Amino acid sequence: MAQQNASTVVPSGETQKVLSKPWFSQTVIPSNAPIPQKSVESLPESYYTRFFSAIALKRKPSAIRGLFPLEKTPGLISLLAGKPNAATFPFESLTFKARSPINPDEVLELTVPDADLKQGLQYSDTAGMKPLLDWLFGLQEYFHGRKREEGWRISVGSGSQDLIYKAVNALVNPGDPVLVESPVYAWVLTIGYA
């Protein structure tokens, strides 16, 4: 068994290392992977509005969530609701073992350090945690040549059902016909009854 650090693999039995980078930033990208160089042009945002459902067009941003960016103002003491004092969290770190994505016979021991754990236990920005979003944008740019400023974005959700439901809700009106493949993920068929 080995333990993974941000840049090294250490045999178990030696001093435990704490990840200095988020776990998702450690994905190995093959050195021979192609790097696309093309740029993508996007249509104006108003073009896509016609595809939204009536429910999506009526949706307004959360007023409380809209205040979250103000919390980052230097010197500001935030009294926003639902933000527990991180010093009261009972956890100091989280350590778990996982099978290596590269070598299934190898088990890695990973530790989420205190600062990352405290951030993970708090409410985060609606779009997702910035380090994770940065990594996902970097992944898209590396493998697909998509640049952040090209008019697209990434949505992070709590699972496939959550994201499928939100996508269908944003694009399909009640009574609209929907064509699905067969066989289909069974849960998808229940969306029409929600």
Q: Tens digits of per-residue pLDDT, 57-85?
A: 999 888 877 787 788 789 888 777 667 88
Burial of 100 (0-12, 13-18, 19+ CB in 10 A): middle
Q: What is the pLDDT of residue 17?
A: 40
Q: What is the pLDDT of residue 172?
A: 92
In contact, 81 and 65? CB cutoff 8 Å: no
Three-state DSSP at 94 gives strand
Contact 86, 118 (CB under 8 A): yes
pTM strictly above 0.75: no
Distance between CA atoms of residues 132 and 160, nearest Å:
17
